[in-house]
């Protein structure tokens, strides 16, 4: 069965409001189903006396970060800056335009360099920016016709790859200490995979700015809820 949430089928079939409502409705309905499945699975793991403390450690770490960096900075990073960087990295290139691909590859390179060096996103900015731009520049060596061919042949596979990469990259939110924790952490990333599907749907059918708006909105709601919990 074809998933029309990763195609542009609705772009000329539905109104902007219709596309947005369809995306939000799919997200809300699927999100609550996912939460129910995840909670059931966690309950079973708890009954089996499997240590899940690394999951609560992530919540405690978030609370500490808010206290350490301040509510205003954390809010800006989570609700505005973070979504912008992630949308540029994971979904800006889905137009398959050469300049957009250059920007996405450069941003993704910066993100993964930050993770690899392990010194924070804002550390060594000039060095990471230079390396990232050099990596991204390689995409400019390919002409647009070649990208058009790639889109026709492998566009759907690339879209799914970006969705999975976006969703499961959030595994870095958890401090994994052994291999047994990896499947659990990946399961906890399923809501982000769902977000990736919905953001991609909005990006493909309404454009980049609408996807960014929805991303910021959902992050803002999640952040507000996390403040209440912590």
pLDDT of residue 60: 60
pLDDT of residue 61: 62
Is 129 within the bounds of a domain? Answer: no
CA 158 to chain centre: 15
Is 98 within the bounds of a domain? Answer: no
pLDDT of residue 72: 83
Mean pLDDT in residue range 168-182 = 89
Is 221 within the bounds of a domain? Answer: yes
pTM of the model: 0.91
Is 144 within the bounds of a domain? Answer: no
Which tens digits make up the pLDDT trace of 106-124?
Answer: 999 999 999 888 777 888 8
Which tens digits make up the pLDDT trace of 1-16?
Answer: 456 789 899 998 999 9
Most confident of 1-15, 93-107, 178-192: 93-107
Total structural domains within the chain: 1
Instruction: Spell out the alpha helix ranges (H) of the chain.
Output: 16-47, 53-69, 71-76, 82-90, 98-117, 125-137, 144-168, 181-188, 190-206, 208-229
Does the pLDDT value for residue 62 go beyond 70?
Answer: no
End-to-end CA distance of the chain: 41
pLDDT of residue 67: 66
> What integer best gives the mean pLDDT of the chain?
91
Is 122 within the bounds of a domain? Answer: no
Is 198 within the bounds of a domain? Answer: yes
128 within 8 A of 117, measured Cβ to Cβ: yes
pLDDT of residue 35: 94
CA-to-CA distance for 180 and 39, rounded, in angstroms? 18
**Tokens standing for residue 192:** 């982000």
**Tokens standing for residue 77:** 């990073």
Mean pLDDT in residue range 20-25 = 94
Structural domain range at position 195: 14-89+154-229
Is 38 within the bounds of a domain? Answer: yes
Which tens digits make up the pLDDT trace of 120-168?
Answer: 788 889 999 999 999 999 999 999 999 999 999 999 999 999 999 999 9
pLDDT of residue 198: 97
Is 132 within the bounds of a domain? Answer: no
Residue 199, phi then psi, degrees to nearest 5? -65, -35
């Amino acid at each position: 069965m074809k998933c029309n949430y990763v195609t542009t089928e609705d772009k000329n079939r539905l109104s902007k409001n219709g596309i947005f409502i369809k995306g939000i409705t799919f997200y809300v309905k699927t999100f609550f189903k996912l939460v129910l499945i995840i909670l059931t699975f966690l309950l079973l793991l708890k009954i089996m006396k499997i240590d899940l403390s690394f999951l609560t450690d992530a919540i405690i770490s978030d609370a500490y970060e808010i206290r350490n960096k301040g509510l205003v900075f954390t809010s800006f990073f989570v609700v505005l800056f973070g979504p912008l960087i992630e949308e540029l990295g994971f979904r800006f290139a889905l137009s398959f335009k050469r300049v957009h691909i250059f920007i996405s590859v450069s941003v993704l390179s910066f993100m993964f360099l930050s993770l690899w060096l392990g010194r924070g996103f804002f550390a060594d900015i000039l060095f990471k920016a230079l390396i990232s731009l050099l990596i991204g520049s390689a995409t400019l060596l390919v002409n647009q016709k070649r990208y058009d061919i790639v889109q026709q042949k492998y566009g759907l596979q690339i879209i799914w790859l970006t969705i999975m990469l976006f969703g499961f990259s959030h595994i870095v939110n958890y401090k994994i200490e052994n291999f047994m924790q990896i499947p659990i952490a990946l399961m906890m990333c399923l809501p982000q995979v769902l977000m990736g599907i919905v953001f991609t749907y909005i990006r493909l059918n309404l454009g980049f700015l609408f996807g960014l708006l929805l991303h910021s909105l959902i992050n803002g709601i999640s952040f507000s809820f996390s403040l209440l919990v912590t």
